[in-house]
């Protein structure tokens, strides 16, 4: 991927803005990545994938592009701030929001989400898997309930895209957002928003698209309708490479490996005294994210010791999801999060468990 990105930098052109070789090559890079996203998620029309700078931009476009004053939105208590903050802004603009509380393991009950849907509900926004507990939400049941009520659905797949199989031909999600740099293994500064045909979104940003330049009206066709300005064609070229790897490897293969690592990790952490693990105990019910606390120790101190003493990088704090930590009872100190990935080895898990045991013992 690094070689592809470096090559794209050397030959970078502005896609769609000219007919010369560099512009055409960059346009092909975007088209190739779009086609691979469509293959990965089981979508026939690749133009429904709009490239963004990250999942946050995609979520903002979805939320602010579909909600209007007087609308009602439903969400959960384990959402990332990339959902909660835009909803807060829309609330100030006259949108009412119902936040459905999750259980102590971070999972929400689909029946409670369904019960929160009203006649005026326009959007149901739910994370596919919590970025704090890893708990996988029952999105299939939630999507069915929302469609029955005539509401649109937005799924935040930041923790699952590329690591948990998801077919948008089988699951009729209206809007789905994900970053390129997590499970999709691409460069930072990449992401996408999938928009099902017929979903009416007002563009968050309007401007040059390289198409219909004779008009001061934003194009109404995809992906141009939501892709204004010079895109990150260099980053997307790198994303195309990682998507090719995922398509060859298979997301189901990645999922099986991560579940094996999760099982070993959760069993090992469960045997450690003074360590509290959050989220479902069953690896099949969670994404590859594990948050924990060491009794009597600040999460930041645990993270510092793991890095300085063992070279293990984790994230400590509130994980940009304060409501999740209020749900778990870990607010305001937060927790420590460790995330095995497709390139993590069993010896890495063993090293982590050894390090955590020594750190937990040192508190005495």
Per residue in 149-175, pLDDT tens? 999 999 999 999 999 999 999 999 999
The class level of CATH for 251-362 reads alpha beta
In which residue are the tokens 């009602």 written? 72
- The CATH code belonging to domain 2-249 is 3.40.640.10
Say how far apart CA 310 and CA 362 lie, in whole Å. 15
Phi, psi of 123 (to 5 degrees): -140, 135
Considering the chain, what percentage of its residues have pLDDT values greater than 90? 86
Write down the pTM of the prediction.
0.94
Query: In the predicted model, is pLDDT for residue 104 greater than 90?
Result: yes
The pLDDT confidence band at residue 10, using thresholds 50, 70 and 90, is low
253: nearest Cα among 263, 245, 241: 245
Per residue in 18-70, pLDDT tens? 566 666 677 788 999 999 999 999 999 999 999 999 999 999 999 999 999 99
pLDDT the model gives residue 11? 61
CB of 239 closer than 8 Å to CB of 14 = no
Angle at 41 between CA 149 and CA 84, to 5 degrees: 55
CB of 233 closer than 8 Å to CB of 30 = yes
122: nearest Cα among 84, 174, 71: 71
CB atoms within 10 A of CB 211: 13
Query: Where in the chain are the domains?
Result: 2-249, 251-362
Could you tell me the sign of the dihedral formed by the alpha carbons of 320, 321, 326, 328, in that order?
negative
Say how far apart CA 208 and CA 218 lie, in whole Å. 8
Q: Is 94 left (phi over 0), alpha (psi -120 to 50) or beta?
A: left
CB of 356 closer than 8 Å to CB of 272 = yes
Q: DSSP secondary-structure letter at 306?
A: H
Mean pLDDT in residue range 235-244: 95
Look up residue 225 and give its two tokens: 């309708």
Domains 2-249 and 251-362 share a fold: no
């Amino acid at each position: 991927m690094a070689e592809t990105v470096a090559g794209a930098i050397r030959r970078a052109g502005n896609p769609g803005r000219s007919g010369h070789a560099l512009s055409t090559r960059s346009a092909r890079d975007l088209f190739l990545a779009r086609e691979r996203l469509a293959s990965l998620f089981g979508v026939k029309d690749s133009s429904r994938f709009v490239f963004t700078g990250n999942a946050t931009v995609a979520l903002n476009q979805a939320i602010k592009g579909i909600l209007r004053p007087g609308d009602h939105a439903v969400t959960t208590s384990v959402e990332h701030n990339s959902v909660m903050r835009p909803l807060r802004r829309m609330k100030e603009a006259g949108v009412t929001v119902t936040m459905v509380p999750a259980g102590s393991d971070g999972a929400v009950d689909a029946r409670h989400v369904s019960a929160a849907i009203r006649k005026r509900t326009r959007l149901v926004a739910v994370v596919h898997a919590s970025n704090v507990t890893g708990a996988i939400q029952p999105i299939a049941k939630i999507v069915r309930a929302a469609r029955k009520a005539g509401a649109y659905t937005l799924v935040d797949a930041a923790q699952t895209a590329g690591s948990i199989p998801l077919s948008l031909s089988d699951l009729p999600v209206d809007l789905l957002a994900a970053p390129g740099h997590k499970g999709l293994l691409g460069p930072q500064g990449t992401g996408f928003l999938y928009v099902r045909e017929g979903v009416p979104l007002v563009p968050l940003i309007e401007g040059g698209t390289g198409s219909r330049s004779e008009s001061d009206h934003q194009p109404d066709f995809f992906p141009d309708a939501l892709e204004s300005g010079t895109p990150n064609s260099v980053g997307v070229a790198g994303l195309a490479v990682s998507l090719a790897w995922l398509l060859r490897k298979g997301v189901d293969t990645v999922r099986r490996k991560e579940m094996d690592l999760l099982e070993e990790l959760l069993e090992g952490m469960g045997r450690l005294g003074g360590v509290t693990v959050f989220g479902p105990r069953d690896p099949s019910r969670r994404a590859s994210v594990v948050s924990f606390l060491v009794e009597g120790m600040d999460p930041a101190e645990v993270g510092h010791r793991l890095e300085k003493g063992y070279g293990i990088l984790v994230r400590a704090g509130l994980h940009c999801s304060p409501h999740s930590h209020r749900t778990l009872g870990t607010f305001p100190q937060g927790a420590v999060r460790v995330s095995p990935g497709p390139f993590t080895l069993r010896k890495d898990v063993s090293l982590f468990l050894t390090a955590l045991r020594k750190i937990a013992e040192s508190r005495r």
